[in-house]
């Protein structure tokens, strides 16, 4: 599935099953919550925190998909074409960071 197809699929799901988009502020709060759930799982799996019983059934891929879903919702309702935005972001990074990481001694 391309990013464009994902944006269309989420939009179709929202309009047929989800009834309507939550407003942008609500979706921003939901995005923050979803990122927090992903951060919690990463902290336990890769960091020093131990798993709690309530964390053990969580799936990292599912948590990432939740983040992506809400981000796509926000893009759709604010008129952002994520494919175009990502392409422009690559262009920006290729100019700004062309040699930056290669010259970073911490990455060698």
pLDDT at 53: 84
Q: Can you identify the CATH homologous superfamily of domain 3-80?
A: MazG-like (1.10.287.1080)
Residue of 84, 15, 37 whose CA lies nearest to 45? 37
pLDDT in tens, 85-101: 999 999 999 988 888 88
What angle (nearest 5°) sits at the alpha carbon of residue 68, between those of residues 70 and 4? 100
In this structure, is the dihedral angle defined by the CA atoms of residues 23, 87, 60 and 15, taken in order, positive or negative?
positive
Closest CA to 76 of 15, 7, 23, 19: 7
What size, in residues, is the chain? 108
What are 74's two structure tokens? 């926000």
Q: Quick one: average pLDDT of 13-40? A: 97
């Amino acid at each position: 599935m391309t990013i464009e197809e994902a944006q269309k699929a989420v939009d179709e799901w929202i309009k047929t099953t989800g009834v309507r988009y939550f407003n942008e502020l609500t979706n921003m709060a939901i995005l923050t919550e979803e990122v927090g759930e992903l951060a919690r799982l990463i902290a336990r799996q890769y960091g020093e925190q131990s798993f709690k019983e309530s964390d053990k059934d969580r799936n990292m891929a599912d948590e990432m998909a939740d983040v992506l879903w809400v981000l796509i919702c926000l893009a759709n309702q604010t008129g952002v074409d994520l494919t175009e935005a990502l392409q422009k972001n690559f262009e920006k990074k290729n100019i700004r960071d062309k040699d930056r990481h290669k010259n970073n001694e911490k990455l060698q």
